[in-house]
């Protein structure tokens, strides 16, 4: 009996449960459409506006019962405080607002949770350093204070705010910065009235560069903020971690470009205190740090821990202490950073390997000695602090002197004290046949370079005449009569190195390559006496963003050396040469006194610096000769007149497929006189351009035969060199022209022009291949058509004008159509000049033109 009753009771219970479920389902299906929630729109808007302290706008509201009762808000916009701009602080297309059920039974509507997805939040910092979200905490703090003053007044609790898959944009006033957090999950709620919690997880991004978000790392934040009467007094506890960041993408994120750093980085920050004063602890760990183009045998790792107290109002840091192992040594930094005053910093090194310092330099500077190896240990302590004011004599009214502090307007500048010592320093590798060894190197404080210059000029302010850099001077044997004196000056902003003394050329080339001198190749091929060096290098520690930040200036003087290059057949002997390194990056050889066989001259060669991408930046040269004999020049440069000798070897170097080839050069060749067999050019000047395929004579100007020559030409290589020459002769002296031909010519000046092509190695080949044309115009002349050496009387011809066309072919210049005019008479000449050495000239006596003879026969 009892069992039956229990069975019937269980069945009724299940029936009631089923009925309740059916009724609930019916309610879910039927009630929402029947309930008008439009009247709640203004109420919900007002609730959210009161909770957030900002005007709130939304388009529509829909009721939702599952999974929990609430409202679905469409097109939610939270307006910005006008002090921070006009763009909304928050916008979301869809927002879910869950309601508190218990408050409904009491006839009130309260929102317990606001959830947004794919929202956009603007975080704005004004010019005075405040943030647009400060007012959110301020509203809550004021509400708490008001509730304390009016116990009977009921507070509306802040809803639980959460955002997923959202974006946080960062602005500085009206300027929208490119930095943002994407894929962000954010939660903001009150654990207790007046106590807030914030949790955030997102990926840092930058909108103006292309980034691989997978390598920018993940940022996580967990913070607790407690109530206080004023914002700056609100207790804060914050933990921030940025992990899994790769240095390459991280540097692109921070500075907008990739300086070539690689490695994994993790940063942690713990803050505890108030907005006014907080204790901060940080930890920065990095593994596998190196440059993209250089992977050292042992990549640099570090683990730096810092602690300090930060004061917001004064922007000051107290009790700074940082520790980090480096190699087998240890680095410690301590100090005080008072806002607006000179910082007080101390850096201590304990047996830091020089190799680790070299790896650090190679990491921050591209192309810095990838093959160098360093040994040695650095130890010591350096302090940077405000100097003691200098006491200056000051007379009193009684004529006695007392000490007075320096001028109040003097600039506050820091001073360095202490020293660093490097024991067992050795630099080897990267082409150094012998290592650079310095048993002991001491870096001690000195005045800055600017202060030294000002002191010499007696115009520097007193506050600047304090140690602001570390300096050390060492002697480095370099194969000269005396060692090189190397002075290193290291400051916070960068470095300065001066090198003076003598260095053997082989050692100088090694040191230039080790120093990363971009034009170190200009010393290749030099041999002879030691060079006199006076160089200065300076620049920032980090790789410069703008070209020209690194500067190498100074001179290198050479005496009695010779230079051999692949594109010249013989050595060039250099009596003296000065290499000048200009601040703009140009490299100038000026002057250079040289001899090449019997040819002597002076030259200037300039390698431009700072050329923009795509800009022609060829080296330029100027060569000046005295009296120059073409035969001597040919013997020195072009070799003998036989194929297979120096001339053919030189021309063969013009072929693009043959290495080495001539470099691309532009320049000018000048001489006082150029002797061309029977012809002498006065003050010849040629503008040349050389390339791998040949030479272009852009312009050739000279005095010739009492007149002027202007010409152009090209030389192209092939199986035989091919020349193309074109020239114009003006106001030639007929007596000089006749003398060249072995004839007596007088009268007015002559003009001529022509062009010719030649090919071959020897003068015989050149004459035989010569082909071209020539035009001659001579007015008021008297010519003899026979030389004085010929038997018989020479025929003399007088004329008012002679115009002639000539053909150059078959080893001769032959007259073609020509006309001699004397009054009404017209005659023509027959003649030719054989291109042999010496020239063979043949002229027949002038005779009537063919047109006149035909008229007389009729």
DSSP classification of residue 638: I
DSSP labels, 777-815: EEEEEEEESS-TTSSSPPPEEEEEEEEEEEEEETTEEEE
Q: Give the three-class secondary structure for 141.
A: helix
DSSP classification of residue 637: I
**Rg (alpha carbons) of the chain, rounded to whole number:** 46
Q: How far apart are CA 503 and CA 515, in angstroms?
A: 15
Percent of the chain residues past pLDDT 70, beyond the cut? 74
User: In the beta sheet, which residues pair with residue 304?
Assistant: 284
Q: How far apart are CA 233 and CA 556, in angstroms?
A: 65
Neighbours of 103 (CB within 10 A): 14
Most confident of 34-43, 635-644, 759-768, 798-807: 798-807
Cis previous bond, 771, omega within 30: no
Task: Give the pLDDT confidence of 290-329 residue by residue, as tens digits.
Answer: 777 766 666 678 899 999 999 988 889 999 999 998 878 8
User: What confidence category does residue 578 fall into, taking pLDDT thresholds of 50, 70 and 90?
Assistant: very high
Neighbours of 190 (CB within 10 A): 17
User: What confidence category does residue 7 fall into, taking pLDDT thresholds of 50, 70 and 90?
Assistant: low
What residues have CB less than 8 Å from 843, skipping those under 6 apart?
Answer: 743, 785, 786, 829, 830, 831
Q: How far apart are CA 181 and CA 163, in angstroms?
A: 13
Higher pLDDT, 389 or 822: 822
761 pLDDT above the threshold of 50: yes
Q: How far apart are CA 759 and CA 703, in angstroms?
A: 26
Q: Give the three-class secondary structure for 492.
A: coil
> Which residue, 688, 726, 724, 684, is CA-closest to 704?
684
User: In the beta sheet, which residues pair with residue 777?
Assistant: 751, 803
What residues have CB less than 8 Å from 788, skipping those under 6 apart?
Answer: 744, 794
Across the chain, what does the average pLDDT equal? 78
Q: In terms of DSSP bridges, do strands 111-117 and 160-172 run parallel, antiparallel, or are they unpaired?
A: parallel
Q: In terms of DSSP bridges, do strands 401-404 and 694-704 run parallel, antiparallel, or are they unpaired?
A: unpaired
Would you state the pLDDT for residue 156? 54
Task: List the single range of 175-179, 637-641, 680-684 with lowest mean pLDDT.
Answer: 637-641
User: What confidence category does residue 467 fall into, taking pLDDT thresholds of 50, 70 and 90?
Assistant: low
Counting beta carbons within 10 angstroms of the beta carbon of residue 814, is it exposed (0 to 12), middle (13 to 18) or buried (19 or more)?
A: middle
DSSP classification of residue 69: S
Q: How far apart are CA 222 and CA 200, in angstroms?
A: 7
Structure tokens at 197: 């919690």
User: In the beta sheet, which residues pair with residue 6?
Assistant: none
Task: Give the pLDDT confidence of 654-704 residue by residue, as tens digits.
Answer: 444 444 566 788 999 999 998 877 788 999 999 999 887 788 999 999 999
Q: How far apart are CA 180 and CA 205, in angstroms?
A: 5
Q: Give the three-class secondary structure for 452.
A: helix
**Is the Cβ–Cβ distance between 369 and 430 less than 8 Å?**
yes
Task: Give the pLDDT confidence of 394-427 residue by residue, as tens digits.
Answer: 444 433 333 333 333 333 456 888 999 999 999 8
**CA end-to-end distance (rounded Å), the chain:** 168
Higher pLDDT, 262 or 472: 472
User: In the beta sheet, which residues pair with residue 709?
Assistant: 702, 729
> Which residue, 460, 461, 465, 427, is CA-closest to 448?
465
Q: In terms of DSSP bridges, do strands 218-226 and 235-246 run parallel, antiparallel, or are they unpaired?
A: antiparallel
Would you state the pLDDT for residue 610? 67
pTM over cut 0.75: no
| Stretch 521-536: mean pLDDT | 85
Would you state the pLDDT for residue 40? 66
Residue with tokens 């955002």: 163
Torsion of CA 675, 676, 682, 683, to 10 degrees: -80
Q: How far is CA 172 from the centre of its chain?
A: 28
User: What confidence category does residue 575 fall into, taking pLDDT thresholds of 50, 70 and 90?
Assistant: very high
**Is the Cβ–Cβ distance between 830 and 813 less than 8 Å?**
no
**Is the Cβ–Cβ distance between 701 and 690 less than 8 Å?**
no
Would you state the pLDDT for residue 740? 86
> Which residue, 387, 373, 328, is CA-closest to 352?
328
Counting beta carbons within 10 angstroms of the beta carbon of residue 550, is it exposed (0 to 12), middle (13 to 18) or buried (19 or more)?
A: middle
Would you state the pLDDT for residue 298? 67
Q: How far apart are CA 30 and CA 34, in angstroms?
A: 7
Would you state the pLDDT for residue 398? 39
Would you state the pLDDT for residue 733? 94
Q: Taken in order 444, 450, 452, 455, is the CA torsion positive or negative?
A: negative
Q: What are phi and psi of 143, to 5 degrees?
A: -60, -40
Residue with tokens 């004085």: 788
> Which residue, 210, 287, 276, is CA-closest to 247?
287
Neighbours of 584 (CB within 10 A): 12
| Stretch 763-772: mean pLDDT | 85
Would you state the pLDDT for residue 637? 52
547 pLDDT above the threshold of 60: no
Q: How many residues does the chain have?
A: 858
**Is the Cβ–Cβ distance between 721 and 740 less than 8 Å?**
no
DSSP classification of residue 488: E
188 pLDDT above the threshold of 60: yes
User: What confidence category does residue 18 fall into, taking pLDDT thresholds of 50, 70 and 90?
Assistant: low
Q: How far apart are CA 276 and CA 231, in angstroms?
A: 9
What residues have CB less than 8 Å from 46, skipping those under 6 apart?
Answer: none
Q: What are phi and psi of 511, to 5 degrees?
A: -65, -35
| Stretch 370-390: mean pLDDT | 81
Structure tokens at 440: 């002991």
Q: How far apart are CA 630 and CA 741, in angstroms?
A: 19
Task: Give the pLDDT confidence of 72-102 residue by residue, as tens digits.
Answer: 888 888 888 888 888 888 888 888 877 765 5
User: What confidence category does residue 202 fall into, taking pLDDT thresholds of 50, 70 and 90?
Assistant: very high
**Is the Cβ–Cβ distance between 585 and 550 less than 8 Å?**
no
User: What confidence category does residue 634 fall into, taking pLDDT thresholds of 50, 70 and 90?
Assistant: low
Q: Which helix (H) or strand (E) holds 560?
A: strand 551-563
DSSP labels, 692-732: TTEEEEEEEEEEETTEEEEEEEEEE-SSS-EEEEEEEEEEE
Q: How far apart are CA 521 and CA 706, in angstroms?
A: 46
Domain ranges in the chain are 29-208, 209-370, 733-858
């Amino acid at each position: 009996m009892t069992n039956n009753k229990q069975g019937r009771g269980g069945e009724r219970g299940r029936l009631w449960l089923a009925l309740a479920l059916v009724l609930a389902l019916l309610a879910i299906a039927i009630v929402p459409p029947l309930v008008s929630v439009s009247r709640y729109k203004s109420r919900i808007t007002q609730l959210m506006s009161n909770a957030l302290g900002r005007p709130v706008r939304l388009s529509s509201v829909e009721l939702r019962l599952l999974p929990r009762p609430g409202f679905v808000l469409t097109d939610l916009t939270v307006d910005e405080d006008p002090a921070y701009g006009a763009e909304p602080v928050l916008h979301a297309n869809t927002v879910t607002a869950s309601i508190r059920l218990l408050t409904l039974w009491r006839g009130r509507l309260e929102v317990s949770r606001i959830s947004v997805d794919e929202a956009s939040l603007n975080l704005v910092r004004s010019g005075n350093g405040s943030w647009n979200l400060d007012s959110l905490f301020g509203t809550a703090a004021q509400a708490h204070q008001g509730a304390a003053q009016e116990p009977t007044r009921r507070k509306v609790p802040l809803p639980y705010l959460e955002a997923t898959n959202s974006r946080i944009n960062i602005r500085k006033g009206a300027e929208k910065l490119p930095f943002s957090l994407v894929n962000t999950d954010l939660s903001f709620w009150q654990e207790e009235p007046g106590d807030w919690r914030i949790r955030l997880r997102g990926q840092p991004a930058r909108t103006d560069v292309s980034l691989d978000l997978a390598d920018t790392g993940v940022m996580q934040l967990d913070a607790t903020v407690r109530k206080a009467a004023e914002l700056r007094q609100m207790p804060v506890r914050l933990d921030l971690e940025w992990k899994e960041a790769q240095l390459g993408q991280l540097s692109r994120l921070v500075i907008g470009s990739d300086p070539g750093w690689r490695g994994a980085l993790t940063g942690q920050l713990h803050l505890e205190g108030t907005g006014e004063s907080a204790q901060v602890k940080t930890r920065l760990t990095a593994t596998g740090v190196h440059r993209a183009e250089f992977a050292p045998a042992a990549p640099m790792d570090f683990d730096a821990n810092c602690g300090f107290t930060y004061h917001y109002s004064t922007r000051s840091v107290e009790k700074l202490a940082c520790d980090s192992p480096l190699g087998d040594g240890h680095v410690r930094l301590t100090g005080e950073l008072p806002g607006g005053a000179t910082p007080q910093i101390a850096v201590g090194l304990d047996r830091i390997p020089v190799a680790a310092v070299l790896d650090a330099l190679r990491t921050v500077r591209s192309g810095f000695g990838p093959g160098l190896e360093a040994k040695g240990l650095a130890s010591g302590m350096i302090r940077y602090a405000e100097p003691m004011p200098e006491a200056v004599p000051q007379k009193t009214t009684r004529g006695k002197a007392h000490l007075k502090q320096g001028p109040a307007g003097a600039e506050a500048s820091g001073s360095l004290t202490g020293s660093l010592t490097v024991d067992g320093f050795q630099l080897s590798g990267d082409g150094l046949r012998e290592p650079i060894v310095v048993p002991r190197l001491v870096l001690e404080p000195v005045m800055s370079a600017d202060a030294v210059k000002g002191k010499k000029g007696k115009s520097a302010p007193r506050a600047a005449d304090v140690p602001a850099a570390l300096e050390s001077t060492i002697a480095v044997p370099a194969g000269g009569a005396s060692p090189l004196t190397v002075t290193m000056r290291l400051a916070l902003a960068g470095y300065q190195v001066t090198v003076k003394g003598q260095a053997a050329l082989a050692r100088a080339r090694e040191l230039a390559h080790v120093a990363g001198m971009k034009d170190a190749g200009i010393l290749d091929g030099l041999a002879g006496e030691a060079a006199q060096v006076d160089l200065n290098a300076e620049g920032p520690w980090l790789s410069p963003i703008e070209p020209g930040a690194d500067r190498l200036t100074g001179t290198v003087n050479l005496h009695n050396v010779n230079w051999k290059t692949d594109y010249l057949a013989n050595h060039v002997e250099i009596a003296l040469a000065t290499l000048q390194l200009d601040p703009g990056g140009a490299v100038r050889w000026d002057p250079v006194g040289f001899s090449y066989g019997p040819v002597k001259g002076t030259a200037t060669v300039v390698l431009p610096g700072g050329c923009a991408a795509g800009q022609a930046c060829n080296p330029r040269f100027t060569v000046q000769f005295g009296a120059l004999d073409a035969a001597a020049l040919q013997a020195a440069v072009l070799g003998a007149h036989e194929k297979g000798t120096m001339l053919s070897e030189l021309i063969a170097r013009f072929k693009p497929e043959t290495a080495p080839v001539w470099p691309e050069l532009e320049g000018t060749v000048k001489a006082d006189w150029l002797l061309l067999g029977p012809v002498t050019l006065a003050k010849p000047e040629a503008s040349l351009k050389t390339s791998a395929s040949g030479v272009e004579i852009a312009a050739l100007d000279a005095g010739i035969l009492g007149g002027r020559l202007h010409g152009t030409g090209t030389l192209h290589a092939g199986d035989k060199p091919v020349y193309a020459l074109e020239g114009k002769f003006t106001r030639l002296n007929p007596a000089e022209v006749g003398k060249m031909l072995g004839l007596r010519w007088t009268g007015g000046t002559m003009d001529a022009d022509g062009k010719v092509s030649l090919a071959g190695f020897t003068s015989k080949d050149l004459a035989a291949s010569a082909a071209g044309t020539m035009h001659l115009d001579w007015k008021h002349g008297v010519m003899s058509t026979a030389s004085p050496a010929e038997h018989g009387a020479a025929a003399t011809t007088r004329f008012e004008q002679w115009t002639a066309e000539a053909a150059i072919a078959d080893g001769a210049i032959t007259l073609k159509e020509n006309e001699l005019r004397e009054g009404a008479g017209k005659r023509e000449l027959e003649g030719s000049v054989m291109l042999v050495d010496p020239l063979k000239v043949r002229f027949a006596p002038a005779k009537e033109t063919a047109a006149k003879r035909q008229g007389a026969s009729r």
